[in-house]
Amino acid sequence: MQDMRQGSLVRVPGRHRATRAPLSWAGLSLGRAVAVLAVVVAVSVWLWQVRPFDSRHGLGADAPPAGIGAARAPLGAPPSMPGGHGGYTFMRMQGNGADPVAYDPCRPIHFTTSTVGLPPGGDALVREAVATMSAASGLRFVDDGLTDEPPTPERDPYQPDRYGDRWAPVYVSFATPEQIPRLAGGTVGLGGSTPRAAGDGVLVYVTGSVWLDRAAMDDLLAAGRRDSARAVVEHEIGHVLGLNHVSDATQLMSETGGTGAGPSDGDRRGLAILGRGVCRPDL
């Protein structure tokens, strides 16, 4: 991998640590000891930088042909901006400083769930969370079903041998800290996406990953806290779509993971903006 890496100071309970990561990840942490008692979470945020842009992008060996699956117009319609209270922040902004980096609304966001470590009902949980975040953003998702792709810390966004000549689907897995070291220390989930730059420098997300801590999710499900487990998945998909954390504890994208009731008004406003990204058939 030729990723440019950017270290960032990450604040976690009782300690600081510097991390280096190639992608954009924000983690929702959940103390294992309190996992079945309350969704008391702390957060680790990993900042990232896009891969160095290759002038052969779209034509090079590390990218599919441009415009795979792209329609002429957005596939869905983002809902109108809801009222209520609560804010939103974005994972990454465009170079103009005004617009967030988002997915292309003219093509579906394919996603796949790994069979590796998948708990009973885990794929249904993922589908429910995806449906909620799709409705809130207006972005169309397509379930590519299950994959045996194992969780690895650095995932190639283009895997033609496994997924064909297209960007790899967004990948969801229930993983262990041994597989994904950034899940160590009580982090219950990680989510983020990989952007690519168009010729004019506009960034568009092309794929992403959600890594869920298998043991913490098992604890939540075993305790009957399905709403909390689904909220963890929704929160991480929020990161995949481009939302970052807010300080308002009532929002899904708060560092404490919200109330378990899905996206709140601030989350929904942010998602509606992310659903209004630009169509880029040149990627």
Interaction with Zn ion in 58-87: which residues (CB under 5 A)? none
Least Å from the CB of residue 101 to Zn ion: 17
Q: Is 56 exposed, middle or buried (0-12, 13-18, 19+ CB in 10 A)?
A: exposed
**Count of C-beta atoms within a 10 Å radius of residue 227:** 13
With CB under 5 A, what is the number of residues at the site for Zn ion? Answer: 2
258/185 Cα distance (integer angstroms): 21
- CB-nearer residue toward Zn ion: 206 or 240: 240
Least Å from the CB of residue 190 to Zn ion: 8
Residue of 21, 28, 221, 231 that binds Zn ion (CB under 5 A): 28
Interaction with Zn ion in 108-127: which residues (CB under 5 A)? none
Confirm if 142 and 108 have CB atoms less than 8 A apart: yes
Segment interacting with Zn ion (CB under 5 A) among 18-26, 146-154, 210-218, 261-269: 18-26
Task: Give Rg (Cα) of the chain.
Answer: 17
State which amino acid sits at residue 235: H
Least Å from the CB of residue 4 to Zn ion: 23
Least Å from the CB of residue 243 to Zn ion: 9
Treating both helix axes as pointing N-terminal to C-terminal, what angle do 265-274 and 226-241 enclose, rounded to 10 degrees?
40
Segment interacting with Zn ion (CB under 5 A) among 21-29, 49-57, 79-87, 205-213: 21-29
Residue of 26, 175, 220, 232 that binds Zn ion (CB under 5 A): 26
- CB-nearer residue toward Zn ion: 196 or 239: 239
Interaction with Zn ion in 186-225: which residues (CB under 5 A)? none
Segment interacting with Zn ion (CB under 5 A) among 25-33, 137-145, 148-156, 169-177: 25-33
Nearby residues of 109 by Cβ (< 8 Å), 6 or more positions away: 103, 139, 140, 141, 142, 170
- What torsion do the CA atoms of 191, 63, 8, 109 make, to the nearest 10 degrees? -20
Footprint on this chain of Zn ion (rule: CB under 5 A) = 26, 28
